[in-house]
Amino acid sequence: MSPVAVVAIIVAAAIVLFAWNKLPVAVVAMLVCLSLWASGILSLDQALAGFGDPVVIFIATLFVVSSALEITGVTAWIGKHLIRAAGKESRTRFVVLMMSLAAILTMFVGAVGAVAALLPVVIVTAVRLGRKSSQLLMPLAFAAHAGSMLALTGTPVNVLVSDAAVDAGSAGFGFLEFALVGLPLLLGSMAIIVLFGQRLLPQRNGAAIPADFSRHARTLVEQYGLGNDIHRLRIRSSSHYVGKAPSTIEAARHQDMQLVAVHEGDTARPIGRPHIAEGDHLLLRGDADVIAKFAADTHLSFREQTGGADDILFTHKSGLAEVAIPPRSGLIGQSVFPGMVTESGDLIVLAVQKAGTPIDEIAPRGQTGAVVLGAGDMMLLQGTWKALDTRLSDPDVLTVGSPDLVRRQAVPMGSEARRTGVISAAMILLLATGLVPPAVAGLLAAGAIVLSGILTAEQAYNAVGWTTVVLIAAMKPLGIAMTETGAAQLAADHLLSIVGQHSPTMLLAGLFLMTAVLGQFISNMATALIAIPIGVAAATGMGISPRPVLMSTAVAAAAAFLTPIAAPANALVMGPGGYRFGDYWRLGLALLAWFFVVSVFVVPLIWPF
């Protein structure tokens, strides 16, 4: 059997398995990779080359950058402003703004970078607006495809066609010249998705769609009756508490005021030193006037808050978590009280709710008595995010709402957000200027995020979407196999023999169909490398300018809509959107038709034959 036939069988089998949707997509991709080696089409080094491909490494680093943007509150901030600008009722306005933002980002960081950066924002927004993630995530990916045609840096294919135009004796394309065709592509894509997207897209969520935790802190504060009477005071150097044990503050508490916690410095961590020092903080509960008088008498810095208790207890450094006591827990029978520091020394019990207790009887002000824990009781804990992440994996408690998810959605931006913003901006600058390869820019950004303490090494590793990475890495050798065996060239030559000599318009139509069809199964870069020389040769033979042919090829290469393996951006949204292999073609076919119209009929109006 010829190598071309073997490759055709492998491609057909892969399509069937992807469409069958019974095997994980990463497993199918690995089967393709191994089949190319077992059949002798590729050597082992070639079959596994995708796992060391710079593009795959770049994609992995983008997951780390995206996670840092989430954890530090940047994406929540963007999402909040996106929701505010779009409004909660208008799907059309939100889709238009989301697609515009994705397209603009793609101009600078490429489709994968834009989708990876906006993916968590759109998921959180879908939750908050009560919409299915599948209704928004595919439009996000498809907007990035259209956005790749807005500038020279939108995709490497744009650079290829510009260089090919120069090599063919014509002028290259300017940095923003692509926008002449990119804007119609983007506007038409928006119109199709706004008008037909709801009917053409499935109504489902991803398997792990998060709950809406945007008001989590306020909900907990109200649930446990903390109200707005929590205050945070700083120990001044002149305070007589400096040098004394934290237990001495207990004597200062009276009926109208309660000591909740003593925090070490500005860390929001329970004090671990035997003595209080300047800069430590007291967390007090009581009337603002009473607290202010106490602060003046004891030389504590007191600033009346403008927000509620949730603004003090829920910051970029610390947060709240609600836990339940399960049956057979080792904590059953133990005594706890509000203000108690847990045995680990890094969490504080803010309030306790006995099973079946009415809300208005929870932790009344001034309660000092111990509560004996039983199965079904609830505790409200406060501590640093790191402590919450570490301690709440204890099997003796059941966490209500993952602290990690809460932090990603609702944490206010702090100093880590500024550092993450600077690192992300530096990465975008490196990508836009081309000073270093994309993989290097991504590795530098991911490394800086870990070294600066924004993410730990373990968090960075867990942030990577390994299913997506394996899918893309294992499928990339298929493009090599189709090129080396001549399967792609044979298909292209056969198509051109049918339509290539009739007219320039038919040439564009034939090249578009060939490029778009191949682009659904191999990378748009490999497709473009096959189509560009054929298009230039055909244009020369017909005596027409190669510029419209090359621009049409670039548009066709961007029309990777019909399958999740057609482009990395499509694969990125597959899991979070809950998409199946066969979901892409319904909306993708409508967009593919629009890209065909622009490629064949609009491009020659801008760049004449």
Give the tokens for residue 7: 């490759």
**Both tokens assigned to 325:** 């006591």
Answer yes or no: are the C-beta atoms of 486 and 94 closer than 8 Å: no
User: Burial of 432 by CB count in 10 Å (0-12 exposed, 13-18 middle, 19+ buried)?
Assistant: middle
Copy the structure tokens of residue 537. 């040769």
In angstroms, the CA 50 to CA 372 distance is: 58
Q: Is the pLDDT of residue 91 over 60?
A: yes
What is the per-residue DSSP string for 71-131?
HTTHHHHHHHHHHHHH-SS-HHHHHHHHHHHHHHHHHHHHHHHHHHHHHHHHHHHHHHTT-
Q: Quick one: pLDDT band at residue 38, thresholds 50, 70, 90?
A: very high
Q: Choose between 226 and 282: higher pLDDT.
A: 282
Distance between CA atoms of 561 and 97, rounded to whole angstroms?
A: 21
- Distance between CA atoms of residues 50 and 272, nearest Å: 50
214-400 CATH choice from 3.30.70.1450, 3.40.50.12780, 3.20.130.10, 3.40.50.2300: 3.30.70.1450
**146 pLDDT tier (thresholds 50, 70, 90):** very high
On average, the pLDDT of the chain sits at: 81
Q: Please say if the pLDDT value at position 117 is more than 50.
A: yes
Of 129-138, 225-234, 494-503, the range with the highest mean pLDDT is: 129-138
Contact 97, 553 (CB under 8 A): no
Mean pLDDT of all residues in 509-531: 80
pTM of the model: 0.68
Using the structure block, give the residue that is written with the tokens 């939100």: 94
Highest averaged pLDDT of the listed ranges 220-234, 498-512, 520-534, 585-599: 585-599
Comparing 207 with 600, the larger pLDDT belongs to 600
Tens digits of residue pLDDT in 394-408: 888 888 877 766 766
Does position 156 have pLDDT exceeding 60, yes or no? yes
Q: Name which of 380, 328, 330 is nearest 352 in CA terms.
A: 380
Q: What angle do CA 330, 364, 367 make, to 5 degrees?
A: 65
Query: pLDDT tens for residues 278-291?
Result: 888 888 877 778 88
Q: What are all long-range contacts of 101-105, with beta carbons under 8 Å and residues at least 24 apart? A: 102/140, 102/143, 102/144, 102/147, 103/143, 103/144, 103/146, 103/147, 103/150, 103/182, 103/186, 104/147, 104/150, 105/144, 105/147
At residue 357, does pLDDT exceed 70?
no
pLDDT at 252 over 90: no
What's the rounded mean pLDDT across residues 18-22?
A: 74
Greatest extent of the chain over all pairs of C-alpha atoms, in Å: 96
Q: Identify the CA nearest to 596 among candidates 544, 565, 553, 567.
A: 553
**In the predicted model, what is the mean pLDDT of residues 223-233?**
74
Rounded-to-10 torsion of CA 389, 390, 393, 399: -40
Distance separating alpha carbons of residues 466 and 25, to the nearest angstrom: 12
Strand residue runs (E) in 327-429? 335-336, 347-353, 371-372, 378-384, 398-400
- pLDDT on residue 365: 45
Q: Where are the beta strands (DSSP E) in 304-343?
A: 318-324, 335-336
> Which residues are within 8 A (CB) of 286 and not within 5 positions of it... i.e. 6 or more apart?
229, 231, 256, 257, 258, 365
Task: Return the minimum-mean-pLDDT range out of 218-227, 264-273, 446-455.
Answer: 218-227
Alpha helices in 317-381 (DSSP H): none
Please state the rounded mean pLDDT for residues 538-565. Answer: 88
